[in-house]
């Protein structure tokens, strides 16, 4: 049986335990075929140097 929907995932831009001050390993995460976007879901990235 073929599925009718595709499910994709967003990964976090920053590490939550660092309070948004440290980036996740976006390059490594982007290798996962189910991850199609990065977001901190309503929490802006406050530090432009990231």
- Write down the pLDDT at residue 16: 78
Q: What is the pLDDT of residue 31?
A: 92
| 48 inside domain | no
Range of the domain at 32: 9-38
Residue carrying structure tokens 């996962």: 32
Q: Give the pLDDT confidence score for residue 43 in this predicted structure.
A: 78
Is residue 15 included in any domain, yes or no?
A: yes
Cα-based distances in Å from 25 to 9, 11, 28: 15, 10, 5
- pLDDT computed for residue 41 by the predictor: 81
Residue 26 lies in a domain: yes
Q: Is residue 1 part of a domain?
A: no
The pLDDT tens digits for 1-50 are: 777 888 888 999 988 776 778 889 999 999 988 899 998 887 777 777 77
Give me the number of domains the chain comprises. Answer: 1
Hey, which residues does 10 pair with through a beta bridge? 37
> Does residue 3 form part of some domain?
no
Residue 46 lies in a domain: no
Domain annotation covers residue 33: yes
Closest CA to 25 of 15, 39, 10: 15
């Amino acid at each position: 049986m073929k599925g009718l929907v595709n499910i994709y995932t967003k990964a976090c831009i920053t590490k939550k335990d660092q309070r948004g001050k440290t980036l996740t390993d976006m390059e490594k995460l982007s290798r996962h075929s189910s991850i199609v976007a990065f977001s901190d879901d309503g929490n802006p990235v406050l530090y432009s140097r990231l």
